[in-house]
Structure 1
């Protein structure tokens, strides 16, 4: 079955996905950007966040999902998580794309990408907390770059690839809807967001009710090995 998921993540607080350095900015910690300078949620974070959410969801449904520390033998058990996201020994059948931040209409994302407004960010001061005393550490004021709130991160082909059942599409849909924090420093109020999705299987749009019914079917069946 051919899968395509369009995804829009709308940030409700400033969002910070840290880059490797701080070159070209006054911040001590800069955000990751794409080739046009737009703030970005990388595909690697999209995959990691959805995998974690899918694992928690399936465990909540009573399925046996190995932890990362369960040992090589258990890590290679055939599970829906492994079938969707892969493992060190098995490549994922899905591609998780980067989601660039967009200011303006989503259907004009390509036409707007050269505008300076698309590259805007904010610099926020922060302090380091002494873990033992619970107070601000001396002389450790830092400046963190963040993407502004209410920026929309969008990709029409955020997730594409092949799946074996509608339940797998439903699991990705639910994992995305359950993920409400992106980037780092969520304990400081950063990265809170909501997610809107359009799921297509074999080029047919799947209604939310149909995806929810697929999850209920899996729950009632007690899950399986994939």
Structure 2
């Protein structure tokens, strides 16, 4: 088995909303997710979901087999099941949270106002085309130019001949230009920089090598 490690850096180009329900101490109906140190994070679960969705779209565009549905265990083996797993197949990959790099901010919990802002919005009645009564909502966002990163964002072990699937992960990551919620309102645009480390090499693979490996994906059709 060959070791895979993907280092990931995501820089926000617009404000970003990666949140859950409102939390104590906040007026937001949807608060930014934070780790135990108070740093905003992009959860590993979202990284996995975004990359899987992008990989499925790329395979569909190439006319290659994919999962018939999320829990598909019946169709022939395919790169999505090999990488992300299914109810009967364990994923060989681990996805970690991406914390924000905060520089000189020593105590994120006490400097929450420097790391986020509240954005108001209203619910629109689709039939009447007007704002709903008593539906003023507040969404907490992090500012643009904030950097989220992890040296071990995605790790795991794959077969050596699954290298084209590694290239698929790389391409899918580059395809993910919008993250979080309210992207239709201009939030969540990012610049993403994945670095792929394969088989214990100290230097990341070049885009040229990964592009060549991606072109080998059609040759894997039905190989597993």
Report the TM-score when normalising by structure 1.
Answer: 0.88
Give the corresponding residue for 2:4: 3
Give the corresponding residue for 1:12: 13
Give the corresponding residue for 1:108: none
Report the TM-score when normalising by structure 2.
Answer: 0.89
Give the corresponding residue for 2:33: 32
How far residue 216 of structure 1 moved from its aligned partner, in angstroms, is 1.2
Q: CA offsets, 1:39-98, max 9 Å, x none? A: 110000000110010011011111121332786523xx3111101111111111110000
Secondary structure (helix, strand or coil) at the match of 1:10 reads strand
CA contact (8 A) 2:12 2:189 kept: yes
Q: Return the alpha-carbon distance in structure 2 between the equivalents of residues 85 and 79 of structure 1.
A: 10
Give the corresponding residue for 1:207: 206
1:163 matches 2:158: yes
From 137, 145, 149, the equivalent of 1:150 is: 145
Q: CA offsets, 1:171-202, max 9 Å, x none? A: 11000000111111111111111210111001
CA contact (8 A) 1:15 1:183 kept: yes
Give the corresponding residue for 1:135: 130
CA contact (8 A) 1:6 1:198 kept: yes
Give the corresponding residue for 1:173: 170
What pairs with 1:45-84 in structure 2 (closer than 5 Å)? Answer: 45-68=46-69, 72-74=73-75, 77-84=76-83
Secondary structure (helix, strand or coil) at the match of 1:30 reads strand
Moved more, 175-184 or 14-23: 14-23
Q: Return the alpha-carbon distance in structure 2 between the equivalents of residues 69 and 184 of structure 1.
A: 21
Runs (5+) with no aligned partner, structure 2: none
CA contact (8 A) 1:101 1:154 kept: yes
Q: Return the alpha-carbon distance in structure 2 between the equivalents of residues 135 and 142 of structure 1.
A: 15
Q: Return the alpha-carbon distance in structure 2 between the equivalents of residues 113 and 161 of structure 1.
A: 32
CA contact (8 A) 2:73 2:87 kept: no
Secondary structure (helix, strand or coil) at the match of 1:190 reads coil
Q: Return the alpha-carbon distance in structure 2 between the equivalents of residues 69 and 185 of structure 1.
A: 24
Secondary structure (helix, strand or coil) at the match of 1:22 reads coil
Q: Return the alpha-carbon distance in structure 1 between the equivalents of residues 58 and 157 of structure 2.
A: 21
Q: Return the alpha-carbon distance in structure 2 between the equivalents of residues 163 and 142 of structure 1.
A: 45
Q: Return the alpha-carbon distance in structure 2 between the equivalents of residues 65 and 225 of structure 1.
A: 13
